[in-house]
Structure 1
């Protein structure tokens, strides 16, 4: 880019940032172009007796009319009234019309239409039309066609200003709408990130709570039989190792969604499939290895579930059995039931342990993250969840998932 073009762009940017200075420059330009006409233009002989010779008063009024354009954007209606008053003063002194005051009047009419609302711009247009026609009536030799042409020109100039104002308002509205949409998209993206973090937190809680509970029970069993039955203790320690590896693998898979392309671990190891009811047998085997007797019943014809419902049902069973391991007691038994119908899937997990007393004891009668996570999972897919003590003792969890979810 040449220095000249760069300088012009810099000058233009400065003028756009300082509109009043730009308007003052316009007024000075009009004076530089028009003042020579005031003193050196020849008046036709038939009008020589009608017009007065230019003098200092004439010069001052012309300069005032032009310099009033400095405020044409800040106070356009006041500028129009001031320029109109200058025009009336020139007409009253019988001074001939010249370029600076005529151009100043036209620019003032355009400015009031382009920079004010309809009420103010309409008032300015009516005032300008009255002043303009009153001044034309004082000019000698003005015919009907000249009246009509000049009035059409004045009205067209006012309409041009209104049209440009409406276009500016339209483009401003488009920019505001685009900015609102951009902000809304950013808000949606933030909400999606928060929701995803909550989902990952629930997944991590379910994985860690279940496997750590199994490991804790197995470690306690190994400690009790370590002296009298080393074989059983060794078996329990093997189970702890396997469960720990499984927990680490699931945690690695869940956190894998947070990794970036710069991570070098192969994606296949990070992103294993989400667990579902097809993995329920393996889950129950792990629970049975802790010493908790668990039975499974499936009623109705098993159906293919949506991935979300499949994961939610599995995690619900996992969390409920984890709570049973923690709180039901060493002699408790548990039952898992799946009821398939054409419209929904019902999942029930019950035990005959010590009920809700131990579950609520750790947090001052406030449900922990596990129970909250259960409610969130079921609600996410439009289901219903009931949690509480069962008849005859123990604790029960019952959830219904609509299969249309």
Structure 2
């Protein structure tokens, strides 16, 4: 019984439709009832006007219309066009009303059929009485069943919409969590990169101090190395701090920091992947050069993530190739396979690995593109400039 007196929220367009419907029924069925039953036809408006609130207060409307119909039966007014309000009210409570009260309304509708047959067809033979009872009963039950079906379908659609909204919220939350975790991991890695640069600077400073008196040229060379290393480390650190939007107060891994992998570690990575059963070819074009620690780490992680995705999605027997092209201004990393990964809908999984690859590439001023190949398979292309953007 709770909620009967509480109005349901209703859009303005729906309120206007209900007002128009009730008005049209009053003009047609209401005045036809007046012409048919004269003074008794006034009761028709009592069954039609409440339909204005059929969606906001369906239970009250139904019981109000039934009360007017019961009064019509008691005073002996014949059936009239205004009685259509009973069916509209029954439909409204079955769609918009409380489920338990909707079933009670069906029972009341069945009782109304018996009352109508006993009053208006009392002088007919039993065959006509049975025919009218079945016909009216089928009409009442049909209207109620149609409304219940409409209610069930509406609930199902609402559940689907809510589920889709929840899935979208979960996806956004997981994506943000993936980015947050990736940033935390990159912050830990940049710690090792900067620590490596500072270690070089300390060693060069100690050596330069020792050689200052005996070999001024060696001391100058050490100072130049310190300057280059310091500028490179500072640029990398500023780039990272500009990317991270949260306070850098995360606790570091308690384990002893280890040197981060780079391009030189790729052969070992590829050998490990081959041992896992993936057919991988490795090709290097151009003239290899020494890369900044962060750039080498980015290239390594992109290849690692690309091979991991191939192992997960390409399927058995897939062939994979990894190529590095040392161009004049940038390093191009390509990881491609001929497996079935292209058959997976990109929207079905946002891909946390792809988020990580793009995040890493953006830190180094590069870009990553990934997607199915035209001839089948999947391809990841990363373009990583050798020099970070200036002006940081």
TM-score scaled by length of structure 1? 0.53
Which of 95, 100, 108 pairs up with 1:127?
Answer: 108
Q: Which residue of 2 aligns with 1:240?
A: 226
2:147 is matched with which residue: 161, 166, 181? 161
Instruction: Look up the SS of the partner of 1:143 in the other structure.
Output: helix
Alpha carbons 1:129, 1:151 under 8 Å: kept? yes
In structure 2, distance between residues paired with 1:195 and 1:154: 61
Among 104, 114, 136, which residue is 2:85 paired with?
A: 104
Q: Which residue of 2 aligns with 1:304?
A: 271
Aligned position for 1:336: none
Alignment check: 8 A CA contact 1:21 1:70 kept = no
Q: Given the alignment of the two structures, is residue 40 of structure 1 paired with residue 26 of structure 2, yes or no?
A: no
Structure 1 residues 278 and 157: CA distance shift in structure 2, 3 A: same
Match of 1:186 in 2: 172
Equivalent residue runs for 1:5-404 within 5 Å: 16-17=11-12, 19-41=14-36, 54-55=38-39, 58-100=40-82, 102-140=83-121, 141=124, 142-240=128-226, 243-244=229-230, 247=233, 251=236, 275-276=261-262, 278=264, 304-305=271-272
Per-residue deviation, 1:21: 4.3
Moved more, 169-178 or 231-240: 231-240
- Alpha-carbon offset, residue 198 of structure 1: 1.7
Secondary structure of residue in 1 paired with 2:156: helix
User: Bigger shift: 185-194 or 87-96?
Assistant: 87-96
CA distance in 1, matches of 2:50, 2:62: 9
Secondary structure in structure 2 of the residue aligned to 1:54: helix
Partners of 2:263 and 2:272 in 1: CA distance: 9
| CA root-mean-square deviation | 3.5
Structure 1 residues 69-78 or 228-237, which shifts more? 228-237
Query: How much has 1:244 moved relative to structure 2?
Result: 4.7
**2:135 and 2:51 mapped to 1: Cα distance?**
25
Tell me how far apart the structure 2 counterparts of residues 303 and 130 of structure 1 sit (CA, whole Å).
81
For the pair shown, the structure with the greater C-alpha radius of gyration is: 1
Asked if structure 1 preserves the Cα contact closer than 8 Å seen for 2:211 and 2:219, the reply is yes
State the Cα deviation string for residues 12-43 of structure 1 (Å, max 9, x = none): xxx943534432332221110023322434xx
Unpaired runs of 5+ residues, structure 1, are: 1-14, 42-52, 259-273, 281-300, 308-313, 319-405
Cα distance in 2 for partners of 1:77, 1:279 equals 74
Task: Please identify, of 232-241 and 103-112, the stretch whose mean Cα deviation from structure 2 is larger.
Answer: 232-241
Figure out how many residues of one structure are paired with residues of the other and give that number. 245
TM-score normalised over the length of structure 2: 0.55
Shift of 1:231: 3.6
Contact 2:33 2:44 in 1 (8 A): no
> 1:94 Cα shift?
2.1
Query: 1:28-79: per-residue Cα shift (whole Å, max 9, x none)?
Result: 21110023322434xxxxxxxxxxx522xx2432212111212222332222
Offset, 1:114: 0.9
**1:117–1:93: structure 2 CA closer, same or farther, 3 Å change rule?**
closer
How many Å apart are 1:204 and its aligned residue? 1.9
- Runs of 4+ aligned structure 1 residues displaced above 6 Å come to none
Distance 1:130 1:111 in 2: 18
The verdict on how the C-alpha distance between 1:34 and 1:117 changes in structure 2, with shifts beyond 3 A counting, is closer
In the alignment, which residue of structure 1 is the partner of 2:374? none
